[in-house]
Amino acid sequence: MRMLNLTLKNIPAELHLQLKARAESNRRSLNREILALLEAQLGAPAVDVASEQERLEGFVAALPHVDHSRVRRYRSSGRT
């Protein structure tokens, strides 16, 4: 497999510091850290936010109802 080069220009100083700190904490070179971040981002599946929100709302709606006044009574019972 042929390896290609890529040059990044005009990187903000703060971003550069963050990348360097992250690379150091992960015990990687700056180059390897950037490659790892790119691979993770590009390999991540696309998320349909609207359908995920619908799914989550359906899940929450299916949860049993909690009577919070009853919970408070149970918590405070036996306490003086």
User: Does any domain span residue 63?
Assistant: yes
pTM: 0.55
User: Does any domain span residue 5?
Assistant: no
User: Does any domain span residue 4?
Assistant: no
Residue-number span of the structural domain to which 41 is assigned: 13-76
- Work out how many domains the chain is built from and give that number: 1
User: Does any domain span residue 1?
Assistant: no
What is the predicted pLDDT for the residue at 46? 85
- Structure-token match 């929100």, residue found: 53
Q: What is the pLDDT of residues 13-45, one digit of tens each?
A: 999 999 999 999 999 999 999 999 999 999 888
User: Does any domain span residue 6?
Assistant: no
Query: 2: pLDDT confidence band, cut at 50, 70 and 90?
Result: confident
CA distances from 45 to 12, 39, 41, 48, 78 (A): 28, 12, 9, 10, 51
> What is the C-alpha separation between 36 and 7, in angstroms, rounded?
16
User: Does any domain span residue 3?
Assistant: no
The DSSP output letter for 44 is: S
